[in-house]
Amino acid sequence: MTADNSTKLSRPIEVLPPAGFALLAALSLFWGLNWPFMKIALSEISVWPFRSLCLTVGGSALLSMTVLGGGSLRIASREIRPLLLCSLFNIVGWHIFSGYGVSLMAAGRASIIAFTMPVWAAVLGGIVLREHLSWRRWLGLALGMTGLAVLIGPDLGTVGRTPWGAAFMLGAAVSWALGTVLMKRFTWSLQTSALAGWQLLIGSIPITLGALWIGDWPDPAALSREALAATAYVLIVPMIFCHWAWFKVVSLFPAVLAAVGTLAIPIVGVLSSGVILGEPVGAREILALALVCTALAVVLILPALQRRTST
């Protein structure tokens, strides 16, 4: 997952093409559906080889799209170390932690915890970038933590039961947040698709080595049709199409509108997991989802709206 600090978002919302809204709706739907399909794939494929395949295919596709679009893949020497550091948290940490998290807990719940990322990024931004920690950021953190407590509180109260899935997903969200903050810390000459593609490929190296060391590679002939279809979906739609569509949305829309679009992803994740996997969607899930979405709105959307109305 990457951030683009060079994309200009100055186009007025009134002149945005309808295709942009269609892409935003497609992102919310397809990235939300990614959670139950990833759960299906990981039920038969181990985390390390699955993530190795996803990152290799996704990174290669994004770099190929960059070249076909006339872009450059050259990495400036001053950007090599920052790129390695960002890849560690943005790619390796996120993909390994979230892979284990989804495999150990309900996919809908995992998506809720994952999208506490912007709240953690807001807090880490104050530490790493010395940004002001406003009352909105503290309120967003409190709301996000309350949402987590609603989800995993009863499990913590059960003797002998440790919510490892939630712990892994929390680690994934914090790792993604730190990677996002570090992206803002450095200046990049690479265009967005090349920057994302290189991070995916760099992150694939230690994950592929880990998969080779573990040696738990699946036999494609032994996989069910459901697992094969779910893997194909994850590779083609979220890893390739959704990354491209996100870059396009960021280039067309104001940041506040893009942020609003991300709020729908965990909602789709929870509902689609209930339909596809039969996961329960009860009061705890709905309350936690509402708290996390409110936290995102407080941290991301309200400040952006206030800035737009004051200019």
Looking at residue 217, its pLDDT comes to 87
| pLDDT bucket at 157, cuts 50 / 70 / 90 | low
Report DSSP state, residue 44. T
- Residue ranges of the domains in the chain? 13-310
Three-class secondary structure of residue 75 per DSSP: coil
Worst-scoring range by mean pLDDT, 39-48, 123-132, 152-161, 286-295?
152-161
Q: Which residues in the chain belong to E strands, given as ranges? A: none
Query: In this model, does residue 42 exceed pLDDT 90?
Result: yes
- Cβ-count burial of 132 within 10 angstroms (0-12 exposed, 13-18 middle, 19+ buried)? exposed
CA-based nearest residue to 11, from 311, 245, 250, 188: 250
Query: Which pLDDT belongs to residue 147?
Result: 78
CB count in 10 Å sphere of residue 146: 17
Query: In this predicted structure, what is the pLDDT of residue 159?
Result: 42
- Residues 155-189: b if buried by 16+ CB within 10 A, e if exposed: eeeeeeeebebbbbbbbbbbbbbbbbbbbeeeebe
Model confidence at 288, in pLDDT bands (50, 70, 90)? Answer: confident
